[in-house]
Structure 1
């Protein structure tokens, strides 16, 4: 099933998307409610919704399909690492430690936008970038799962764009932490959440999901790759995230950027210059993933931010008194 959240007139509804439009979920349930209920219960509720009257999709505004409990963004494509490190980290090759486990960072679950929403370029940023990704959504709670248990806990998948201010990211990561402000201003997801059963026929013998992925800027294709080129599968990623920790329903775990031009920084690193150029206000970025749909957003200019008090060096007397 394709599950969507939409604004129809003055109402926001959770719905199942079918050929004839949006079928509202019964009893005012939301997509978040279905994710918390787990996939078997969600499919039963969705089937009931499909028996009802559909609302026209043309008169609705699609919103983020769900409100993520958290967002973990992994980096699982080796070719992406090779290209992007040259432009962001001024480094060559792939770190040995990258091969040890599917590395991730947490990004901001409160800065989520949906399809069609404008994306503000951070104030002062001059190297805005998109990132072509696919994410899975957890539909169960657990800790230290096996990969088999993690695979069973996947509720569904959606398209994700991890917007990145590369100039801010490059500066702040020299501190040894991050990314932070280079990433946390916006993540777009959508256009809907596709339940895992819909994609079972595209999972290979090793548990990897194989889908065609591509991205365009202003209608011109910039990148394309196969999702199966990930170095770790979604069950492996989810099992690793749960290790000595806790995963809950609604957690979003992103694949990381594909290779093949899945972001501009990869192309900049390979070319040694910013070609294609960074995103500008007015640019339209569309990510299309087979079976998952197309996620489109338009870049708009940011607004000025208030200044911060600069760093204050501690005096000798203050330091000695501690």
Structure 2
């Protein structure tokens, strides 16, 4: 009897140890993978800063304010938008990704200019793709080519012919030598057989500044999104020669596509999304991604995007990260071929 008792006690102890190990393993797995069994983090508990690395009034800025309006109500915490233009978006990116704490309370609202194009266009970039933890893509915009209203060209085809004959007379705006406009212009010039280096870039702080420079006659061309140009087009200060998309844009249905104007294969288009410093905890990234996913299905948010003439273009964190890698490789090739990469 005594031996039987001791054997039973030993078996009970072994079962207890095994169950304890399974429990610990399950708890650890939940914490690592973010399964439903894991405890939700207490975030956010205070004000969040959305950093826009471009001037006020452009697409990134307007999208950021739409996100701030939605999430401040969703999370019950104030969300402020801070504009830090300069350096083709890198001053703001440096502040948000390198100088701020990786705690989720400073978030970068980026686009091609401060990510894929910047790395593709610079052999020694200050901010790298690896410095970002990409949260989600939010919106996209159709590329458009704008000139002053009284400019002598009424078609993109005629304008392209003039540029081919007079490349040294073409002045155009960009937030930096490797910004969104630079890649769009470089790809277009390459397609018509013009040496990119023979044209002249004029620095701007963003789309609103670029459009104003065209309207004022300070530059010949500006390339940004349809929505960013809309206010000055509607005011009669500038005109669009073409849009870069598979179909005409519903905002300006009378403006032809670049393909209709005889220029096929132009692919540079604009997007905006969110990223955090590389060391930000995964749980915070997941919370942001989940919130953005919900936001992109909200009817009022969609209406807000339509109002600022942007299109919803949600990609989750994994999809966004993959698209960034692919786009960077594409733009590196273009940058090397056209001389953008320095």
- Structure showing the higher helix proportion among its residues: 2
Structure with higher Rg: it is 2
TM-score, normalization: structure 2?
A: 0.26
